[in-house]
């Protein structure tokens, strides 16, 4: 007779189960007991592969970082490369919106996250930014990406656009106009993200051109 089936544990398997748990039930649902139950093992067996809950969170961060494609940052021209990187970064957190709390509450500490930021900053410096401007631009991109993945602008308005009239005519006009361009539920959110991205990169390009012309 064969051996009874047992869950094969590893740091990666535990991290994947933890991320699945966060995706399904939210960041606050991640406890050692809930994770052990999800894996079908006793809680003590987790500690053969991880040191603490902090260690699990670092491993989950590693999984998220691995999903973010930084290869566009090596492409030229730089605005297209950084735009492609930002879109891919946003898609990761659109797939894992409950994990945004993990990013927000923990410092940048894993090797993958540190390497990602270093790659982005190197791309910005290579485009002509001084280190301070590179840091400001990286922060602006972070705010745009994480904010747009965390919050849906359109879904915040729970009434049909016309229902905001006559008390809020500018709001009604704007929502109706946006829906005429594309009525899909996420269309305005996507266009808002793209507009913000164009503003950041376009403004940066103008600033760099001004520095070169001095």
pLDDT in tens, 31-64: 999 999 999 998 788 888 888 889 999 999 999 9
Please answer whether residues 102 and 22 qualify as being in contact, where contact means their C-beta atoms are separated by less than 8 angstroms: yes
Digit-coded pLDDT (tens) for 179-210: 999 999 899 999 999 999 999 999 999 999 99
In this structure, the chain runs to a length of 214
Please answer whether residues 200 and 144 qualify as being in contact, where contact means their C-beta atoms are separated by less than 8 angstroms: yes
Task: Give the 3-state secondary structure of residue 97.
Answer: helix
Distance CA 163, CA 94 (A): 29
């Amino acid at each position: 007779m064969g051996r009874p089936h047992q869950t094969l544990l590893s740091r990666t398997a535990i991290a994947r189960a933890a991320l699945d748990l966060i995706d399904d039930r939210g960041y606050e649902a991640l406890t050692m007991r809930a994770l052990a139950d999800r894996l079908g093992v006793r809680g003590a067996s987790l500690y053969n592969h991880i040191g603490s809950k902090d260690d699990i969170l670092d491993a989950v961060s590693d999984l998220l970082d691995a999903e973010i494609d930084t290869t566009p940052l090596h492409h030229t021209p730089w605005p297209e490369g950084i735009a492609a990187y930002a879109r891919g970064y946003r898609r990761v957190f659109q797939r894992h919106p409950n994990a945004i709390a993990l990013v927000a509450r923990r410092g940048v500490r894993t090797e993958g996250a540190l390497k990602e930021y270093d790659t982005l900053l190197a791309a910005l410096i290579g485009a002509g930014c001084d280190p301070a401007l590179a840091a400001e631009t990286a922060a602006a991109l972070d705010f745009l990406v994480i904010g747009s993945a965390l919050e849906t602008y359109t879904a915040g308005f729970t009434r049909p656009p016309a229902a905001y009239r006559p008390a809020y005519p500018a709001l009604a006009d704007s929502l109706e106009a946006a829906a005429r361009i594309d009525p899909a539920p996420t269309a305005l959110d996507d266009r808002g993200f793209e507009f913000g991205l164009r503003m950041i990169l376009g403004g940066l390009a103008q600033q760099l051109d001004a520095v070169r012309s001095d």
